[in-house]
Structure 1
Amino acid sequence: MSASQTRRQGPLSRFTILDASRVRAGPTAIRTFADLGARVIKLEIPPGAPGGDDMIGSRDHNRADYENLHRNKESLTLNMKEPQGLEILHALVKTADVFIENYRPDVKYRLGIGPDDLRAINPRLVYASISGFGQDGPYANWPGFDSIAQGMGGLMSVTGQPGAGPMRVGIPIADLCAGHFCAQAIMAALLEREVTGEGQWVQSSLLESQIAMLDFQAAQWLIDKKVPQSTGNEHPLTVPTGVFATSDGYINLAAIGNTMFRRLCQALEMPDLVDEPGMGSDPERVRNRGRVNAAIGAAFKLRTTADWTQRLLQAGVPCGPIYTVDRMFADPQVQHLGMARTMHHPELGDIEVVALPMQFSRHPRNDGPLQPAPYQGDQTEQILGGLGYSTEQIAALRAQFVV
């Protein structure tokens, strides 16, 4: 057994996952399982076969993204359009726990790898699908992209400066959240399987995930019939919050409620502001947002970000500096949390990737080395050999672009 096939330690090390997903949302869901010890076999279209993998997130297009997204996985090249390719998939499905795909909804049925097809082979299989807009409905076959979901899911309407028009978020949040929600659904289905012995089909979509992430702003419309508007860096329901310029940069402030506002005014050495008309409650301060921000904004410009951060935290007022990514990773708390993990790469040497943002008391996340993202088809021979294919048979399959 190769090192890549050796069972790694972790709370999910007993599970095997077949990952037929591409781009971002699906690989994000499965990275969680790979980091927690599951065996993940990444199914990729063989070189020379029609179709090819998407450029986004590929090794050639964005090496850093690829290494961060596909670590701890194995790679099997497999053309599922060919009968022999389907035979191999079926053999893998017999002992797999999860199969995940994020094709357009109709593609899996045309390939003959839909949930009913694969669960007929293994009723314990949890079949996971991620789509742009859901598995059925009027938009089911629309291509799903993060920015489109951000717009249709309402997020862009509440992002950006007031009056400046819609603004997308700086990360692919619809993709990422669809992946994380899908991972939760898979976990729930695996838990339910322990009781019933049956797998099931679980789904998430970029649109549904983005709407769910609106949370209280979605509830404002559903319950109060109020359409939320963009408020820039500020909170729509409480003032003062948001970004304020200091003498050497910026500070993030969250003085929510009357108690915090009093503490803030004391720390800013302007206690009389609390008693001015229009300052007595969050709703009043929201109505007088401009006057509140102008008053405290002038005070913030008199000291450095570090000085204000120390003063406000001592006063019990939530605040913090605003970092660029390099300064964020240099922060002592971030370093203490170990959010950058070292991974040895055979070509790149020691590189760092983003750590899993979870802690387990009996499974420390720094136990054992991370495995670099595989090259396309790295484990094809080992995986097929484990299914009983000979060297000659594998060579023949390669010649036919089956693997």
Structure 2
Amino acid sequence: MNAMTARAGLLEGIRVLDLSRVMSGPFCTSMLADLGAEVIKVEMPGSGDEGRSFGPFVEGESSYFMLLNRNKKSVTVDMKSEDGRAVIRALIPKCDILVENFRPGVMARLGLDEPTVRQINPGIIYTSISGFGQDSPLKAWPAFDLVIQAMSGLMSLTGPRGGPATAVGESVADVCTGMFAAFGTLAALFDRERSGRGRHVDVAMLDSMMAMQLTGLARRLYMNDTPKPAGNRHPVTYPVDSFATTTGDVVMVCFSDKAFSALAELMGEPELAGDPRFSTNSARNDHEDLLRCRIAAWTGGLTQDAVTKSLLDAGIPAAPVWDMNQLVGSDHVAQRGLVETGHHRTLGDVPLVPQPVRFSGDDPQDAPTTPELGEHTEAVLRDVAGADDTMINRLRDNGTI
């Protein structure tokens, strides 16, 4: 394992009871696990987290699940049964954090809602992740990433100009909500160190996505303007856009009159910088179609590498448009150690991608792991919940674990 990206033990000694599934909750708890927290992931016996059924698969194991549930302990408990809920209640006093992402109301029906759990463990940080929050008029709606992208306005801003609303090519609502949840959980944990008081952390996917859209919000809240899709270009500044070359696309961030003047020199058309149609950002926006054609004619005759180098040498921010293969194979990913070699009990070595924040003075940790379904059930019940062999055998015999 690359020591530069080894897990920081900043949360060593913190235990997390992870009752979440699929993506937003597991992403939150994976970040906590990366920082050294002990994460006990509770899954249904037999089927496990629904994420285990998501492809692609490697020898029957979900690679999606492995990337998302690194460094966790898998414990199978049927929370629909009274015995299963008793197991959860036995674990709660031993945990610092509980994370759940059920629809609001489900945990109350299970008798594991925040007020009930707080009676068992007054200092626990109870983090609830949902689509719309615990008190929204929409709280009963099912929330999936695409639903939230649609309602957040993000899809309305994404895609080609004049085209249909388009989803971002990753489950960004799930991922970003998981990050906000980790942030809120750690803030509440820090507060508990000073006040001794546990908190309920309520994180909504729709709220999270709204909070991220600063450009669109600035236009809507301050200019009473409803933005529309603009393709790859910046909604205000031009030319900040992507262009085709003979070997792939490039992006350029020509953000000022000075940068545009440098671009005009590169194109062999220095007079464009003084042309009233292009001499200011406002004018360049008004004549975008014409300017785009002139720039595209220049980039279209050169390679991706040549255009990128020319722009960078001229002081204009630029980059090639990489696919996933180019990213993973890049010198940057290798130097930063962004892909770690982890371990799976049956698959052996597997590639994993931990949270990316680096900390000074970080000591190398053991190689990250990804759990098989129920791999840690008996150990956790014995060591954390205080169950003996008789109880474990009874729970296994009646299908609770």
TM-score, normalised by the number of residues in structure 2:
0.93
State the match for 2:397 in structure 1. Answer: 399
1:269 to partner: Cα distance = 2.7
Answer whether contact 2:272 2:279 (CA < 8 A) is retained.
no
- Residues 163, 134 of structure 1: alpha-carbon distance in 2 compared, 3 angstrom cutoff: same
What are the residue-to-residue correspondences of 1:255-274 with 2, within 5 Å? 255-274=254-273
State the match for 2:114 in structure 1. Answer: 115
1:351 to partner: Cα distance = 2.2
State the match for 1:374 in structure 2. Answer: 371
Answer whether contact 1:25 1:179 (CA < 8 A) is retained.
yes
1:56 to partner: Cα distance = 3.8
What are the residue-to-residue correspondences of 1:24-63 with 2, within 5 Å? 24-47=23-46, 52-53=47-48, 55-58=50-53, 62=57, 63=62
Answer whether contact 2:8 2:36 (CA < 8 A) is retained.
yes
Amino acid aligned to 2:325: D
Secondary structure (helix, strand or coil) at the match of 1:43 reads: strand
1:78 to partner: Cα distance = 1.4
What are the residue-to-residue correspondences of 1:193-208 with 2, within 5 Å? 193-208=192-207
Answer whether contact 1:31 1:71 (CA < 8 A) is retained.
yes
Cα distance between partner residues in 2 of 1:134 and 1:388: 34
Cα distance between partner residues in 2 of 1:310 and 1:165: 34
- Residues 60, 243 of structure 1: alpha-carbon distance in 2 compared, 3 angstrom cutoff: closer
What are the residue-to-residue correspondences of 1:96-115 with 2, within 5 Å? 96-115=95-114
- Residues 270, 369 of structure 1: alpha-carbon distance in 2 compared, 3 angstrom cutoff: farther
Answer whether contact 1:190 1:199 (CA < 8 A) is retained.
yes
State the match for 2:3 in structure 1. Answer: none
Secondary structure (helix, strand or coil) at the match of 2:50 reads: coil
- Residues 59, 239 of structure 1: alpha-carbon distance in 2 compared, 3 angstrom cutoff: closer
Secondary structure (helix, strand or coil) at the match of 1:94 reads: helix
- Residues 259, 379 of structure 1: alpha-carbon distance in 2 compared, 3 angstrom cutoff: same
Amino acid aligned to 2:50: M
- Residues 257, 184 of structure 1: alpha-carbon distance in 2 compared, 3 angstrom cutoff: same
Cα distance between partner residues in 2 of 1:61 and 1:294: 41
Cα distance between partner residues in 1 of 2:48 and 2:211: 30
Cα distance between partner residues in 2 of 1:324 and 1:349: 28
Residue 350 of structure 1 pairs with residue 366 of structure 2: no
State the match for 2:4 in structure 1. Answer: none
Amino acid aligned to 2:361: R
Answer whether contact 1:55 1:61 (CA < 8 A) is retained.
no
Cα distance between partner residues in 2 of 1:57 and 1:241: 41
- Residues 154, 256 of structure 1: alpha-carbon distance in 2 compared, 3 angstrom cutoff: same
State the match for 1:129 in structure 2. Answer: 128
What are the residue-to-residue correspondences of 1:240-319 with 2, within 5 Å? 240-319=239-318
TM-score, normalised by the number of residues in structure 1:
0.93
Residue 390 of structure 1 pairs with residue 388 of structure 2: yes
Cα distance between partner residues in 1 of 2:275 and 2:115: 67
Percent of aligned positions that are identical: 36
Cα distance between partner residues in 1 of 2:49 and 2:189: 29
Answer whether contact 2:341 2:351 (CA < 8 A) is retained.
yes
- Residues 217, 119 of structure 1: alpha-carbon distance in 2 compared, 3 angstrom cutoff: same
Question: What do residues 159-186 of structure 1 show as CA deviations (whole Å, max 9, x unaligned)?
Answer: 0001111111100111111111111100
1:362 to partner: Cα distance = 1.5
1:131 to partner: Cα distance = 0.5
State the match for 1:3 in structure 2. Answer: none
1:355 to partner: Cα distance = 3.2
Secondary structure (helix, strand or coil) at the match of 2:109 reads: helix
Answer whether contact 2:152 2:206 (CA < 8 A) is retained.
yes
1:54 to partner: Cα distance = 5.2
1:136 to partner: Cα distance = 1.9
What are the residue-to-residue correspondences of 1:164-183 with 2, within 5 Å? 164-183=163-182
State the match for 1:142 in structure 2. Answer: 141
1:271 to partner: Cα distance = 1.5
Cα distance between partner residues in 1 of 2:110 and 2:301: 65
Cα distance between partner residues in 2 of 1:278 and 1:191: 55
Secondary structure (helix, strand or coil) at the match of 1:221 reads: helix
Secondary structure (helix, strand or coil) at the match of 2:94 reads: coil
- Residues 76, 55 of structure 1: alpha-carbon distance in 2 compared, 3 angstrom cutoff: closer
State the match for 2:64 in structure 1. Answer: 65
Higher relative contact order (CA 8 A, sep 6+): 2
Secondary structure (helix, strand or coil) at the match of 1:242 reads: strand
State the match for 1:154 in structure 2. Answer: 153
Answer whether contact 1:343 1:350 (CA < 8 A) is retained.
yes
Cα distance between partner residues in 2 of 1:287 and 1:53: 55
Answer whether contact 1:15 1:39 (CA < 8 A) is retained.
yes
1:330 to partner: Cα distance = 1.4
Query: Which 4+ stretches in 1 moved above 6 angstroms?
Result: none
Amino acid aligned to 1:401: G
State the match for 2:217 in structure 1. Answer: 218
State the match for 1:329 in structure 2. Answer: 328
Cα distance between partner residues in 2 of 1:343 and 1:303: 41
Cα distance between partner residues in 1 of 2:119 and 2:280: 61
Cα distance between partner residues in 1 of 2:381 and 2:221: 52
Question: What do residues 193-225 of structure 1 show as CA deviations (whole Å, max 9, x unaligned)?
Answer: 111101100011111111112112122111110
Answer whether contact 1:186 1:202 (CA < 8 A) is retained.
yes
Amino acid aligned to 1:396: R
Answer whether contact 2:55 2:64 (CA < 8 A) is retained.
no
Amino acid aligned to 2:393: A
State the match for 1:4 in structure 2. Answer: none
Superposition CA RMSD, Å: 1.6
- Name the stretch that deviates more: 181-190 or 88-97: 88-97
- Residues 61, 330 of structure 1: alpha-carbon distance in 2 compared, 3 angstrom cutoff: closer
Show structure 1 runs of 5+ residues with no match.
1-7
1:60 to partner: Cα distance = 7.1
Answer whether contact 1:158 1:228 (CA < 8 A) is retained.
yes
